[in-house]
Structure 1
Amino acid sequence: MQENVSQYSRPSDLRITDLRVATLAGVPFRSSIIRIDTNQGISGYGEVRDNASKTYALLLKNRIIGENPCNIDKIFRKIKQFGHHARQAGGVCGIEMALMDLAGKAYGVPAYQLAGGRFRDRVLLYADTPTVADPSLMGKRLLERRQAGYQFLKMDVGINLLRTIPGALISLPGSLDGRDTMHPFTGIQVTSLGVSKLVEYVSTVRSVVGDDVPLAVDHFGHIALDSCIRVGRALEPFTLAWLEDMVPWQLTSQWRSLTDAIATPTCTGEDIYLLQGFRPLIEAGAVRVIHPDPATSGGILETKRIGDYAEEYGIPMALHMAATPIATLAAVHIAAATSNFLALEHHAADLPWWADLVTGLPSPLIVDGHITVPDAPGLGFSDVNEDLFREHLDPTDPAYFIETSGWDGELSNDRLWS
């Protein structure tokens, strides 16, 4: 009897029938979770990048309805023109994650298997930790992370620590308050006093947390290349894991100058879309570590391609991530399937309920600073936790996967040639 046959065994007949969204807040930031439904009763989940618009996914709905979700590359090529750098890639990437989840469920294999198999059974996390001005307290917070099992740490060190110190910064009127001016154009400089204060800060943190744990540093502020070099050189004695996003990723020649000038690894990439966006940095040897965010870089398969390409140039790949367990698990599958992987960011170490947003995972999910690569089909979790989802719905958009038929009539001639 047909009704007794597992629908999961007929992937060639699988078709996308719907796309719906639920937007959560404080998980750890605001994230839109997408659910793609099919004619066989199975659904796949993906995640639009933190603080991006759900519209980036909804506008693609009518372009994927009727497609077989197992044709991941075909659909990705169809929709990737609607992504861009930073959060504008969120819709394309979230859909790609959901397609990988669906295809894995249809074939009964984990997502990493669709990406070519795995190189590791466990994925190392690095714990990001919010900054506090007191370096002793910052060291204590990082030490608590280490005592909780995290074996790779990250903190912020930059001009925000120097704002109240007279003589630490030179700045143009209003430049310290601007957020939309690229680093070379702000006119902000770090003085010798400012550099020494940053050195004191990192030295105190290192004295608390220890010299034998990887410690990365981020959020230096919108300072120009010369100040980046001065700060970078001064921090060399602390053997930091990397200095992250010191200048905008678009400025390949400046990254190359910075990388050549200091003896600490340089790192960037969280806002770059697709392999073609990473090529200039990789081919120029402009950074020592590439750092894609799968919710921006193109999802699972494209991010693996980025890692594989960087490997040819001797560059390792870490993964940026500030997301729910859904996008985090997508990143875990990338990490499992990519040879030159270093570590995956975890931004929710202070949210004890975070892993419970989805069901069917080991408890605890994170052990000794690692996530075990799931062997269950797709991304590896059973379903979303409806009660917890409803509890954390964005109060400005408290809809739980409501119907989205208003997007069904979205039509356009999208062909890029005549």
Structure 2
Amino acid sequence: MRQDHGGAGRHLAHPRRPSFDRSGAPVSTVESVRTDFYQVPLPVVLTDSTHGVIPHFELVTVRVTDSDGATGLGYTYAVNSGAEAFAVLVDRYLTPVLTGEDVDRTEHLWQRMWWALHYAGRGGHATSAISAVDIALWDLRARRAGQPLWRLFGGYDPRVPVYAGGIDLDFPIEQLLEQADRFRKEGFRAIKMKVGRASWREDVERVARMREHLGDDFPLMADANMKWSADQAIRTARALAEFDLVWLEEPTIPDDVAGHVRVLREGGLPVATGENLHTLYEFQNMITAGAVTFPEPDVCNVGGMTVFRKVAALAEAHNLPVTSHGAHDLTVHLMAAAPNRTYMEAHGFGLERYLAEPMQIVDGAAIAPERPGHGLTFDFDALEPHRVGGTT
């Protein structure tokens, strides 16, 4: 397995500009940025209540190389469609504002990227593109320092409680229970299942069966993927309350902050939300309104590691635990540095098949690696059949 810079792909650079600090000493600068876009088939077709059938996910990788020849790796993703736009934004608009800049000034570079794309989005595609670059920059910085990211970020605890994030809305009951047994054999001590079927009574029946199968004390979450109105969510939450869920996730659309407040106050269950919030300010609105129990950023769409850390700190300032969505092999570093962390999601879109050393799970905990940076080494040869497009 290898992480190289050859072959086809988007690989853009601008002329190098020597850079120096205030003492006159040379500093390492961004030399080039390469992006690659892939459509990655999933081993099992997955389903949820809003995205429907999910046969593959879209992946964009970003490799930032500095003037000393060192490289950092980042990535972002989308469900079914839209990720190619992230690559275009990185290529056409972010690379020019990064090239020649000091690679260690991650906050400065984040602000340059944010304002370069601000008028075009303030979130969504813009922050997904920024996320991939920001992750690569932090990886590069930590590799240069010879430290794993979780230590560079403060190093709270490398053992992070983890749950298995099932994407299983259309699984028959027996398949759902078999999956739960497999998760437990893999070392998970908490599980999330999907809800949001055509009838809320079906959801209640499926959660009841899972609770009976797992036992009273096993941590269980349910994820509606924004399926319901606030009134529907309240009704279903009340019906699910007897099953002692850790949380009900995304009960309604992320735009409905007032609806989230009602669900949390009237539904009788804790609420997790945030995978579809794309800025720090959206999290501030949700948290200060009292609309969420477990803020849930995704490092690949919220603005990267720079913003994820700010969301975790914002949650801590409001005495809230932080959880996460997706990209567990990256997120484990962020959660390992957050004193208010709770369960981290191990996501169904995992890249284990394309990684030299996938994340370890031991007795219900994900273990943050000691390798420099985030420690991921992609097998780009294995990904190559799924790459879309060529050199730009």
TM norm. shorter chain > 0.5: yes
Number of equivalences: 344
Which residue pairs with 1:347 in the alignment?
347
Q: Which amino acid aligns with 1:147?
A: K
Query: Is it true that 1:56 corresponds to 2:89 in the alignment?
Result: yes
Identical residues among aligned pairs (%): 26
Alpha-carbon distance in 1 for matches of 2:125, 2:312: 20
- Structure 1 stretches of 4+ with a deviation exceeding 4 A read none
Superposition CA RMSD, Å: 2.3
Q: Distance in 1 between matches of 2:348 and 2:294?
A: 23
Q: Aligned ranges for residues 121-160 of structure 1 at < 5 Å?
A: 121-129=158-166, 130-160=168-198
> Which residue is equivalent to 2:111?
77
Q: CA deviation at 1:358?
A: 3.1
- Give the counterpart letter for 1:122 in structure 2: R
C-alpha deviations, 1:62-100, integer Å up to 9, x for none? 111111211100000111232633444211011100000
Letter in 1 for 2:28: L
Judge which range, 54-63 or 83-92, deviates more.
83-92
- In 2, Cα distance between equivalents of 1:270 and 1:36: 26
Seen in structure 2, the aligned counterparts of structure 1 residues 356 and 156 have a Cα distance that, compared at 3 Å, is: closer
C-alpha deviation, 1:221, in angstroms: 5.4
| Structure 1 Cα separation of the partners of residues 204 and 227 of structure 2 | 18
Give the whole-Å Cα distance in 1 for the aligned partners of 2:202 and 2:258: 28
Q: Does 1:336 align with 2:336?
A: yes
CA distance 1:289–1:36, shift in 2 (3 Å): same
Tell me what 2:365 maps to. Answer: 370
Q: 1:357 aligns with which of 336, 354, 358?
A: 354
Report the equivalent of 1:223.
228
Aligned counterpart, 1:100: 138
Pick one of 266, 271, 275 that aligns with 1:261.
266
Match of 2:35 in 1: 21
- Verify the 8 A CA contact 2:156 2:339 in the aligned structure 1: yes
Deviation, structure 1 residue 398 = 5.2
CA distance in 2, matches of 1:12, 1:109: 22
Structure 1, unmatched stretches of 5+, are: 1-9, 163-194, 322-326, 405-418
Q: Which amino acid aligns with 1:371?
A: A
- Tell me how far 1:44 sits from its aligned partner: 0.6
Q: Which residue of 2 aligns with 1:413?
A: none
Question: Is the alpha carbon distance of 1:330 and 1:337 closer, same or farther for their aligned partners in structure 2, counting shifts above 3 Å?
Answer: same
Residues 2-48 of structure 1: CA deviation (Å, up to 9, x unaligned): xxxxxxxx995211111112223136622111111122111111012
| 2:36 aligned counterpart, secondary structure | strand
Tell me whether 1:46 sits opposite 2:85 in the alignment: no
The DSSP-based 3-state class of the residue aligned with 1:250 is coil
Q: Is the 8 A contact 1:47 1:90 kept in 2?
A: no
Give, in angstroms, the shift of residue 277 of structure 1. Answer: 1.6
Mapped partners of 2:33, 2:225: distance in 1? 39
Letter in 2 for 1:151: R
- More strand per residue: 2
Q: How does 1:133-212 map to 2 (within 5 A)?
A: 133-160=171-198, 162=199, 195-212=200-217
Residue deviations 1:248-268 (CA, integer Å, cap 9, x gap):
122221111111102211111
Amino acid at match of 2:145: Y
Name which one, 1 or 2, has greater alpha-carbon Rg: 1
